[in-house]
């Protein structure tokens, strides 16, 4: 069967990597015989009246590969009964670190010990706030603070003393955040595992000598990695826990190298993975899309 598809990326994010990801998926889909249109999110104008539609778009696709975080657009597509990969709900969960850890904890998956900051409606928290005092009693320095929203290792802070804590609270005032145990054994090291469906298709280890974060965007280096059976199992279960058709799961090394989930990315960019391992994950992603679509029509 020949499918028609839209592949959507964001028009307003700087850098070529977002378009590159969309083009990688487009190339794999076209090689499978799909009719592909790559679109920026500002090329689809949602119209709401007594029904849902898009301005200047009459023919709808059989499916959409949604590489963006524009949840209103993703929701519009789903309400129009167009299958999207990944789903709007999955994008919403993985875009919010608090929601992600809640889902992982619900499914009893290994995560760092975590507490969620209360909603303050913009009121600043100080070191003498009851919640912050509880944090300091619960987590010895150093510990990690993460804003709920952020990518590429940004908006993640290692707090080593009260002065850094006060400064960071001032910096992120009004934003939702969480606090976690610092996994010292994994300083500057993590593993990215690409999951598609219920399979691991590729993995790489990332490392940094100078930063507790290992993201390549932050200066980390990468090497191919062969994950253990347990690491594969945890990564697949984490991907399923957030409802992803495909995802990049980041694992930390806990005591005795026990895997601990750091993050689940519903739109993990796959160029670095290809450069590191020689495996292009766009092809198994398209295979999984076809499998899902056939399941819907059967």
How far is Cα 286 from Cα 34, in angstroms, rounded to an integer? 10
Residue pair 200/249 in contact by the 8 Å Cβ criterion: no
Q: Is the pLDDT of residue 298 over 60?
A: no
Residue 218's pLDDT band (cuts 50, 70, 90)? low
DSSP lists the bridge partners of residue 52 as 48
pLDDT value of position 48: 87
- Output the CA torsion sign for 290, 291, 296, 298: positive
Bridge-based pairing state of the strands 63-66 and 114-116 = unpaired
pLDDT at position 217: 62
Long-range contacts (CB closer than 8 Å, 24 or more residues apart) made by 28-34: 28/280, 28/282, 28/283, 28/285, 28/286, 29/3, 29/5, 29/65, 29/286, 29/289, 31/283, 32/286, 32/287, 32/290, 33/2, 34/2, 34/3, 34/4, 34/5, 34/286
Q: What is the pLDDT of residue 219?
A: 66
Instruction: State the chain's mean pLDDT as an integer.
Output: 93
Asked if residue 145 has pLDDT above 90, the reply is: yes
Q: What is the pLDDT of residue 216?
A: 63
- Tokens 């009719």 belong to which residue? 35
CA atoms within 13 A on the CB side of 122: 0
CB 236 within 8 A of CB 216: no
| Entry pTM | 0.92
What does the pLDDT read at residue 52? 85
Determine the pLDDT at residue 64.
98
With a pLDDT cut of 70, the percent of the chain lying above it is 97
Per-residue pLDDT at 177: 96
297 pLDDT above the threshold of 60: no
Name the residue with higher pLDDT: 256 or 213. 256
Beta strands in the chain (DSSP E): 4-9, 35-40, 45-48, 52-55, 63-66, 84-85, 114-116, 143-147, 156-159, 177-181, 189-196, 199-207, 221-224, 246-253, 259-265
Mean pLDDT of 59-70: 95
Reported as a pLDDT band with limits 50, 70 and 90, residue 153 is: confident
What pLDDT does residue 226 have? 97
Read off the pLDDT of each residue in 133-141 and give the average, rounded to a whole number.
93
Q: How far apart (Å, rounded) are the C-alpha atoms in residues 208 and 187?
A: 8
pLDDT digits (tens, 9 = 90+) for 36-50: 999 999 999 888 888
**Domains with residue ranges and CATH for the chain:** 4-86 (3.40.50.20), 92-111+185-291 (3.30.470.20), 114-182 (3.30.1490.20)
48 vs 237: CA distance, rounded Å:
37
């Amino acid at each position: 069967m020949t499918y028609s598809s839209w592949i959507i990326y964001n028009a307003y994010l700087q850098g070529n990597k977002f378009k590159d990801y969309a083009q990688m998926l487009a190339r794999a889909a076209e090689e499978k015989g799909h009719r592909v249109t790559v679109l920026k999110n500002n090329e689809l104008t949602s119209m709401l009246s007594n029904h849902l539609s898009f301005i200047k778009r009459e023919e709808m696709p059989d499916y959409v590969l949604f590489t963006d975080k524009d949840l209103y657009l993703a929701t519009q597509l789903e309400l129009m009964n167009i299958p999207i990969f990944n789903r709007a709900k999955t994008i919403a969960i993985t875009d919010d670190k608090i929601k992600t850890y809640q889902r992982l904890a619900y499914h009893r998956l290994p995560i760092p010990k975590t507490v969620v900051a209360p909603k303050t409606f913009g009121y600043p928290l100080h070191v003498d706030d009851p919640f912050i005092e509880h944090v300091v009693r619960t987590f010895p320095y150093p510990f990690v603070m993460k804003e709920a929203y952020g990518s590429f290792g940004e908006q993640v802070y290692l707090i080593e003393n009260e002065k850094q804590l006060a400064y960071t609270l001032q910096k992120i005032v009004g934003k939702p955040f969480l606090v976690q145990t610092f996994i010292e054994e994994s300083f500057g090291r993590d593993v990215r595992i690409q999951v598609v469906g219920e399979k691991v298709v590729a993995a790489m280890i990332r490392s940094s000598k100078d930063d507790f974060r290992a993201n390549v965007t932050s200066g980390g280096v990468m090497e191919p990695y062969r994950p253990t059976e347990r690491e594969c199992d945890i990564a697949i279960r984490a991907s399923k826990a957030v409802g992803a058709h495909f995802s990049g799961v980041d694992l930390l090394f806990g005591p005795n190298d026990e895997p601990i989930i750091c993050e689940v990315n519903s739109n993990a960019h796959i160029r670095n993975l290809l450069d590191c391992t020689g495996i292009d994950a766009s092809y198994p992603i398209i295979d999984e899309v076809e499998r899902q679509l056939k399941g819907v029509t059967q």
